Amino acid sequence: MRVERETRYRIRGIACPGKRFSYDGQAYHVVEVEEVITRSGRVGDVLTFETNCENCGQAFHFSKMKSYFRPLKQCRRCEG
Chain residues in the site for Zn ion (CB under 5 A): 53, 55-56, 58, 75, 78
Residue among 23 and 68 whose Cβ is closer to Zn ion:
23
Least Å from the CB of residue 6 to Zn ion = 20
Least Å from the CB of residue 48 to Zn ion = 18
Residue among 32 and 54 whose Cβ is closer to Zn ion:
54
Residue among 38 and 58 whose Cβ is closer to Zn ion:
58
Least Å from the CB of residue 44 to Zn ion = 28
Q: Cβ contacts of residue 75 below 8 Å, gap of 6+?
A: 53, 55, 56, 58, 60
* Distance set, CA 22 to CA 33, 38, 72 (Å): 18, 27, 12
